[in-house]
């Protein structure tokens, strides 16, 4: 064999191919296999192994894409327990993981199986939630599995009836294409089963081969054709690793680039097991035929959310109505049974409803929990939650008092600092205008008392634009224009703020929010059984001795009225907004202070990986979009005129920081005007002094016209003295004297 063998053909099974591949490696003889599809048979491990068919890795990729296309998440794998089956299912698991799907249960069958083994495996599969079954097995045993599945008592057609999905790998198409003697029985057992067949593009060579094959098997040709037409074996689509799922063959997609780019995953309609064209849901509850067991916490407070009339089996409330509306919106019926949790004397601890063992809900093996269940990080590690159906978060509720209007309410729009700066600005502007006007304007002159009254009157009369004093100087007018602009802004802001203060009801509380509670030592109330206790002690590091457990809204009210100084009283209560809005709807003397310091929501809890949680989330979103959630909210949680947002209506007082730009502008204008006025006064003083001993202060106090007149008189007297001297000396004539007088007067005026 070592000298005469050129190549080895076969074998038909992957297990035998593994064995022979080792021999081929030792003999350096090529092994050519047309049927071994095990993905672990590769050229790296077996360099002399050549495969003329496709590896199962491509087939499993197609199966995974079909599962994802129909939006199934969990599948069950039934396979032969050898290299062929195990390696194929391993490849399937990898491809499903890429599509965010998984194999929820594996049912291996021994290579030496019997009918009893098949039946036992199928009975175990029937107890699982998933109804999508992948059958990866040899052809002879695959037919027996399908035949036995039809006999399992699980409906009119057993496990081949409504609700089930069977996907067989290419072993079934091989049987249908090659063994016509098994065709009739095979198609009867496999109606509604999806299978895969290797696709070969149409060509002249293919047509010649099919024609020759038909001539070799002419006696069976008519029978095979009849079977295809009778039992309706048909193509629903194509898959390739480049184009994915499509109703067009890959060669047509590749020939048309535009079609390839715009191609979306699509398949033709399928007639599923049970002769229905409605896509199966793909899962059921784990205990087939059993009602959904829904745990409901029995509350003693806030019965608007969950209530149960005494002695009755019916449940009501906001949470129950939302659950029923979402369940009715599902595209399939879900029989259910509500099971109460709690003794009815105190609120149950919601955490006790959830248990991490076995991914189940704890009490009486619940399939779901419905109620005021807050979605928290720790709880999401135990169960799966639906989309939140109501937003909620922790808030602080404390006693509040109204700020009644007083006789001094008109002072509240401005802060004390703002009032001080504004008053000083009025006096400062008045003083600046007085300095600029007093030498040229008689209205700003007179006795000191009169001048002081003028400054005050002028300053505050500008507030109403009713000042009667005429401004003569250019610098004074500039300062006044800028100041009137500032007054206009201040006046408008004051009126707007005062209007808000007098018309908007304001509430005050010694507790300002969660921060003030943390820094104080006052006792804090919380609802017994809620997650608030754990959050306050673990997340906010509040000592447990400060926490007071309360059971009902009446206890809330009493504890808040007693206050932190009495035994059993509290400074504030911390609870979820949904509860507090209901509590405050009839108790206006309390209010929410500060901001909501957590963002959470309520949801329905299901066991981990339950597909019902996803469908219920979709139903809740639909209720939110069509207004169903709001209608249920209005039915149970209608609020009264009392507002829980009282403290948020507080109007901020006007701060100096909001107007410092205006005051800076006005101050700069005053400083610049005073500087220019001072420069002008110095220049005038230098010209008027002319060696005389008059001080600068005296010059400033004089009226500008008086100073000019005095200098004019002094010039006139000097001219007369000079004329007298000239006459006595006999050196001038009268005309010259007059000219000198005129010139002296003119010169004195200019000076």
Contact in structure between 201 and 249 (CB atoms under 8 Å):
yes
**Is 284 domain-assigned?**
no
Share of the chain above pLDDT 90, in %: 28
DSSP 3-state assignment of 517? helix
**pLDDT value of position 78:** 97
Q: In what order do the strands lie in the sheet with 292-297?
A: 336-341, 292-297, 368-369, 605-606, 384-385
DSSP label at 414? B
Contact in structure between 66 and 194 (CB atoms under 8 Å):
yes
Strands (E), 180-271: 194-195, 238-240, 244-246
DSSP 3-state assignment of 194? strand
- Looking at the fold, whether 88 and 175 belong to one and the same domain comes out as yes
What span, in angstroms and rounded, lies between the C-alpha atoms of 534 and 541? 10
Which one is predicted more confidently, 402 or 164? 164
- Looking at the fold, whether 349 and 420 belong to one and the same domain comes out as no
- Residue 362's pLDDT band, with cuts at 50, 70 and 90, is very low
CATH code where residue 182 lies: 3.40.50.2300
**pLDDT value of position 231:** 45
**For 647-672, what is each residue's pLDDT tens digit?**
444 445 788 888 888 889 988 988 99
Strand partners, 75: 103
Domain stop point among 332, 359, 393: 393
Share of the chain above pLDDT 70, in %: 78
Contact in structure between 269 and 162 (CB atoms under 8 Å):
no
- Looking at the fold, whether 359 and 417 belong to one and the same domain comes out as no
Indicate whether 188 pLDDT > 60. Answer: yes
Indicate whether 460 pLDDT > 90. Answer: no
Residues 6+ apart with CB under 8 A from 206: 200
**pLDDT value of position 387:** 94
Tokens of 603: 């949801």
**pLDDT value of position 389:** 95
Range list of H helices, 373-415: 377-380
Q: Is the peptide bond before 11 cis (omega within 30 degrees of 0)?
A: yes
pTM for the predicted model, two decimal places: 0.60
Strand partners, 390: 602
DSSP 3-state assignment of 399? strand
List phi, psi (to 5°) of 285. -70, 150
**Is 577 domain-assigned?**
no
Tokens of 618: 């979709």
Angle at 389 between CA 554 and CA 583, to 5 degrees: 15
Contact in structure between 163 and 189 (CB atoms under 8 Å):
no
What span, in angstroms and rounded, lies between the C-alpha atoms of 80 and 169? 12
Exposed, middle or buried by CB within 10 Å (0-12, 13-18, 19+), for 309? exposed
Range list of H helices, 538-627: 553-562, 577-584, 611-626
Indicate whether 717 pLDDT > 60. Answer: no
**Is 482 domain-assigned?**
yes
What span, in angstroms and rounded, lies between the C-alpha atoms of 559 and 569? 4
Domain stop point among 183, 204, 225: 204
**Is 348 domain-assigned?**
yes
- Residue 745's pLDDT band, with cuts at 50, 70 and 90, is very low
**For 500-510, what is each residue's pLDDT tens digit?**
777 665 556 77
Indicate whether 260 pLDDT > 60. Answer: no
Average pLDDT over residues 353-360: 49
What span, in angstroms and rounded, lies between the C-alpha atoms of 6 and 19? 18
Indicate whether 90 pLDDT > 90. Answer: yes
**pLDDT value of position 651:** 47
- Looking at the fold, whether 344 and 461 belong to one and the same domain comes out as no
What span, in angstroms and rounded, lies between the C-alpha atoms of 516 and 115? 74
- Looking at the fold, whether 451 and 344 belong to one and the same domain comes out as no
**Is 629 domain-assigned?**
no
Which one is predicted more confidently, 455 or 398? 398
Indicate whether 716 pLDDT > 60. Answer: no
**pLDDT value of position 505:** 53
CATH code where residue 363 lies: 3.40.190
**Is 244 domain-assigned?**
no
**Is 176 domain-assigned?**
yes
Average pLDDT over residues 730-751: 41
Its domain, for residue 14, covers 8-36
- Looking at the fold, whether 182 and 312 belong to one and the same domain comes out as no
Indicate whether 641 pLDDT > 60. Answer: no
Residue with tokens 């065709």: 183
Average pLDDT over residues 275-281: 90
- Of 42-46, 667-671, 691-695, give the range with the top mean pLDDT: 667-671
Exposed, middle or buried by CB within 10 Å (0-12, 13-18, 19+), for 332? exposed
Indicate whether 729 pLDDT > 70. Answer: no
Exposed, middle or buried by CB within 10 Å (0-12, 13-18, 19+), for 431? middle
Average pLDDT over residues 54-76: 93
| DSSP string over 625-690 | HHTHHHHHHHHH----S--TTGGGGPPPPBPGGGTHHHHHHHHHHHHHHHHHHHHHHHHHHHHHHT
- Looking at the fold, whether 64 and 198 belong to one and the same domain comes out as yes
Which one is predicted more confidently, 70 or 656? 70
Q: Measure the CA dihedral 11/12/16/18, to 10°.
A: 80
State the distance between the two ends of the chain, measured CA to CA, in whole angstroms. 140
Contact in structure between 67 and 132 (CB atoms under 8 Å):
yes
**Is 449 domain-assigned?**
yes
Indicate whether 429 pLDDT > 80. Answer: yes
Domain stop point among 393, 413, 429: 393
Q: How many domains does the chain have?
A: 5
- Looking at the fold, whether 59 and 196 belong to one and the same domain comes out as yes
What percent of the chain is helix, strand and coil (3-state, nearest 5)? 50, 15, 35
Average pLDDT over residues 409-425: 87
- Of 259-268, 322-331, 604-613, 728-737, give the range with the top mean pLDDT: 322-331
- Looking at the fold, whether 167 and 60 belong to one and the same domain comes out as yes
- Looking at the fold, whether 27 and 77 belong to one and the same domain comes out as no
Give the mean pLDDT of the chain.
Answer: 80
Beta-sheet pairing, 507-508 with 401-402: antiparallel
Indicate whether 524 pLDDT > 90. Answer: yes
- Looking at the fold, whether 130 and 88 belong to one and the same domain comes out as yes
Indicate whether 688 pLDDT > 60. Answer: yes
Tokens of 29: 């003889």
Indicate whether 143 pLDDT > 50. Answer: yes
What span, in angstroms and rounded, lies between the C-alpha atoms of 53 and 36? 8
Indicate whether 361 pLDDT > 60. Answer: no
Cα within 13 Å of Cα(654), Cβ side: 26
Q: Which of 96, 123, 95, 91 is nearest to 107 (CA)?
A: 123
- Looking at the fold, whether 665 and 720 belong to one and the same domain comes out as no
Distances in Å between the alpha carbon of 36 and those of 42, 45, 81? 11, 15, 16
For residue 534, how many other CB atoms are within 10 A of its CB? 13
């Amino acid at each position: 064999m070592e000298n005469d063998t050129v190549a080895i053909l076969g074998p038909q099974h992957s297990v035998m191919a593994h064995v022979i591949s080792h021999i081929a490696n030792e003999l350096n003889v090529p092994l050519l296999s047309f049927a071994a599809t095990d993905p672990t048979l590769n050229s790296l491990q077996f360099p002399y192994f050549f495969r003329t068919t496709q590896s199962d890795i491509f087939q499993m990729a197609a199966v995974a894409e079909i599962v994802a296309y129909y939006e199934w998440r969990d599948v069950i794998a039934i396979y032969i327990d050898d290299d062929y089956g195990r390696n194929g299912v391993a490849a399937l698991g990898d491809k499903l993981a890429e599509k965010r799907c998984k194999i929820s249960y594996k049912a291996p069958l021994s290579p030496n199986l019997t009918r009893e083994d098949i039946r036992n495996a199928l009975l175990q599969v029937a107890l699982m939630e998933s109804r999508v079954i992948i059958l990866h097995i040899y052809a002879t045993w695959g037919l027996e599995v399908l035949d036995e599945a039809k006999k399992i008592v699980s409906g009119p057609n057993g496990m081949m009836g409504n609700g089930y999905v069977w996907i067989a790998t290419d072993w079934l198409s091989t049987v249908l294409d090659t063994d016509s003697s098994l065709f009739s029985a095979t198609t009867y057992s496999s109606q509604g089963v999806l299978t895969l067949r290797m696709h070969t593009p149409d060509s002249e060579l293919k047509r010649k081969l099919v024609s020759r094959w038909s001539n070799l098997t002419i006696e069976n040709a008519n029978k095979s054709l009849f079977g295809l037409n009778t039992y309706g074996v048909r193509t629903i689509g194509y898959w390739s690793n480049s184009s994915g799922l499509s109703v067009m063959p890959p060669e047509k997609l590749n020939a048309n680039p535009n079609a390839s780019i715009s191609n979306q995953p699509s398949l033709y309609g399928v007639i599923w097991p049970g002769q229905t064209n409605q896509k199966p849901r793909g899962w059921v509850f784990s205990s087939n035929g059993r009602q959904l067991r829904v745990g409901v916490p029995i509350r003693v407070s806030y019965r608007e959310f969950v209530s149960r009339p005494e002695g009755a089996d019916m449940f009501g409330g906001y949470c129950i109505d939302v659950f029923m509306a979402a369940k009715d919106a599902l595209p399939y019926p879900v029989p259910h049974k509500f099971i109460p949790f709690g003794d009815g004397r105190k609120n149950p601890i919601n955490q006790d409803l959830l248990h991490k063992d076995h991914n189940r809900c704890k009490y009486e093996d619940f399939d779901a929990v419905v109620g005021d269940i807050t979605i928290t990080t720790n709880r999401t590690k135990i169960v799966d939650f639906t989309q939140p159906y109501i937003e909620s978060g922790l808030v602080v509720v404390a006693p509040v008092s109204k700020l009644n209007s007083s006789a001094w309410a008109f002072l509240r729009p401005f802060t004390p600092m703002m009032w001080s700066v504004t008053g000083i600005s009025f006096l400062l502007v008045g003083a600046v205008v007085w300095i600029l006007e007093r030498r040229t304007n008689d209205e700003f002159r007179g006795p000191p008392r009169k001048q002081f009254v003028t400054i005050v009157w002028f300053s505050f009369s500008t507030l109403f634009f009713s000042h009667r004093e005429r401004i003569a100087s250019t610098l004074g007018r500039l300062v006044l224009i800028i100041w009137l602009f500032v007054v206009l802004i201040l006046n408008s802001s004051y009126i707007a703020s005062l209007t808000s203060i007098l018309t908007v009801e304001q509430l005050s509380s010694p507790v300002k929010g969660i921060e003030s509670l943390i820094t104080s030592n006052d006792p804090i109330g919380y609802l017994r059984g809620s997650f608030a206790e754990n959050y306050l002690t673990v997340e906010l590091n509040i000592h447990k001795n400060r926490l007071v457990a309360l059971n009902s809204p009446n206890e809330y009210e009493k504890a808040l009225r007693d206050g932190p100084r009495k035994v059993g009283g509290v400074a504030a209560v911390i609870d979820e907004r949904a509860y507090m809005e209901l509590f405050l709807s009839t108790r206006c003397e309390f209010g929410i202070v500060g901001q909501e310091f957590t963002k959470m929501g309520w949801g329905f809890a299901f066991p981990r990986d339950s597909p019902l949680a996803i469908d219920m989330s979709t139903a809740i979103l639909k209720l939110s979009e069509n207004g169903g959630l709001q209608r249920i909210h209005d039915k149970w949680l209608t609020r009264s005129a009392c507002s829980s947002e009282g403290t948020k209506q507080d109007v901020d007082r006007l701060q100096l920081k909001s107007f410092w730009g205006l005051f800076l502008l006005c101050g700069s204008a005053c400083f610049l005007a005073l500087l220019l006025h001072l420069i002008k006064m110095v220049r005038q003083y230098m010209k008027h002094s002319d060696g005389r001993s008059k001080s600068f202060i005296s010059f400033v106090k004089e009226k500008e016209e008086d100073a000019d007149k005095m200098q004019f008189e002094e010039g006139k007297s000097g001219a007369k003295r000079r004329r007298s001297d000239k006459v006595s000396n006999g050196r001038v004539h009268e005309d010259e004297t007059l000219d000198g007088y005129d010139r002296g007067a003119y010169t004195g005026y200019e000076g």
